Homo-oligomer: A and B are copies of this chain.
Amino acid sequence: MKVCLVSRLEFKGRDIISIKDFTREEIDYVLKIAGAIEPVAKSGSDMLQRKTLATLFYEPSTRTRLSFEAAMHKLGGSTIGFAEAEIASVKKGENLADTVRVVESYADVIVLRHPLEGAARLAAEFAKVPIINGGSGAEEHPTQALLDLYTILKEKRRIDGLNIALIGDLRYGRTVHSLAYALSLYDVRLHIVSPESLRMRREVLDVIKEKIEVVQQTEIEEILPEMDILYVTRIQKERFPDLAEYAKVKGAYRIDLETLKNVKKDMIILHPLPRVEEIAAEVDETPHARYFQQVWNGIVMRMALLALVLGAIE
């Protein structure tokens, strides 16, 4: 559907395509709604009774799909969809524009995951119902960025003024791009830490550098004592052109108990999951670990977004 904002805080019928479409005021509003809806995530609700969510996943993503489906169930709605392109009519050569114009008859809102950048925006141009981007290409994953912010706010009670490090694969990881954009709307000091070959893309870096202080580096040790948030990402094997290169950088920024010797007492570690070896299992039991709480916050944030775009919350 065409983005059509009556006021900046009107979310009914709105598509959620890119974090870049949000103002800070809008993000703050969404964070507030998530906070208000969190009790409902525990009790359940009939807020979206008789509404249907379609999850169209052209790429496998158990986590994001189940998170949206659980969110919809907790609001009393139902879900339909597919979990991989192979079982879709894609096989028969149908284009995405036709698919969304078909599915909008079946569902009141569509979550789309697609391997191509721009797919969610294209879908939104054709669909009459709201489209939520569940990840497209290597570029955008706006609901992940929003749940990351919600987690930071819940844990720290503020976002402004924090020292935040983004660590690992900053080139291919899609969550980190959306998060960096979102953080650039706040008054944070951002440390971006990666090997040379996995540096954040210039087009992302240029935009956020205009707004906030960004420090780029390849080593992590020296900045650890000042950090409030470590946001660790997986070195994604499947996005690597060269496996030898993958082997080299894997584990370069592994967080373990040794790493945690010189950190602030209330420093927290986030990770979009799944993790592989970037965070040692021994870290899970420390008070720094918050990556499993992030999962819960993801349900809460997605409940908020579904309720907002379907007009169940004003």
Query: What is A's interface to B at a CB cutoff of 8 Å?
Result: 43-44, 49-50, 52, 54, 60-63, 66-67, 69-70, 73-74, 78-84, 86-89, 91-94, 97-99, 101-103, 105-107, 234, 236-238, 273-276, 281, 292, 295-296, 298-299
Sample of 10 further A-B pairs with CB below 8 A, known A62-B87, A73-B80: A44-B50, A63-B89, A82-B83, A92-B236, A92-B274, A99-B274, A101-B292, A101-B295, A102-B295, A105-B296
Contact of A102 among B63, B84, B107 (CB under 8 A): B63
Contact B62 A89 (CB under 8 A): yes
Cross-chain pairs A/B with CB under 8 angstroms, 13 sampled: A43-B50, A50-B74, A52-B73, A61-B89, A62-B87, A84-B87, A89-B274, A94-B276, A98-B273, A98-B275, A102-B295, A105-B299, A106-B299
What residue of chain B has the Cβ atom nearest to residue A103's Cβ? B66
Asked if B296 and A70 make an inter-chain contact with CB atoms under 8 angstroms apart, the answer reads: no
B102–A292 CB distance below 8 A = yes
Beta-carbon contact of A238 and B273 below 8 Å: no
Cα–Cα, bound, A90→B153 (Å): 30
State in angstroms the CA–CA spacing of A155 and B295 once bound together: 46
User: Are the C-beta atoms of B105 and A295 separated by less than 8 Å?
Assistant: yes
Cβ–Cβ contact B67 & A106, under 8 A: yes
Report the separation of the CA atoms of residues A61 and B102 in the bound assembly, to the nearest whole angstrom: 13
Which residues from B are CB-within-8-Å of A91? 60
**Which chain B residues border A79 with CB–CB below 8 Å?**
80
Bound-state Cα–Cα, A103 to B74, Å = 14
Looking at A50, A92, A94, A299, the one whose CB has the most chain B CB atoms below 10 A away is: A92
Cβ distance A41 to chain B, nearest Cβ, rounded Å = 9
CA distance A70 to B292 in the complex (A): 30
Bound together, the chains give a CA A82 to CA B67 distance in angstroms of: 12
Chain B residue with the shortest CB-CB distance to A101 = B292
Q: Which residues of B contact A238 (CB under 8 A)?
A: 92
Query: Are B93 and A274 interface neighbours, CB within 8 A?
Result: yes
Give the docked Cα–Cα distance between A69 and B50 (Å). 13
CB-based closest 10 A-B pairs: A44-B50, A94-B274, A70-B106, A73-B78, A105-B296, A105-B295, A60-B87, A62-B88, A69-B80, A93-B276
- In the assembled complex, the Cα of A122 lies from the Cα of B284 at a distance in Å of 16
CB-CB under 8 A for A92 and B234, given A60-B86, A60-B87, A299-B106: yes
A295 contact set on B, CB distance < 8 A: 101-102, 105-106
In the complex, what distance in Å separates the CA atom of A68 from the CA atom of B299? 23
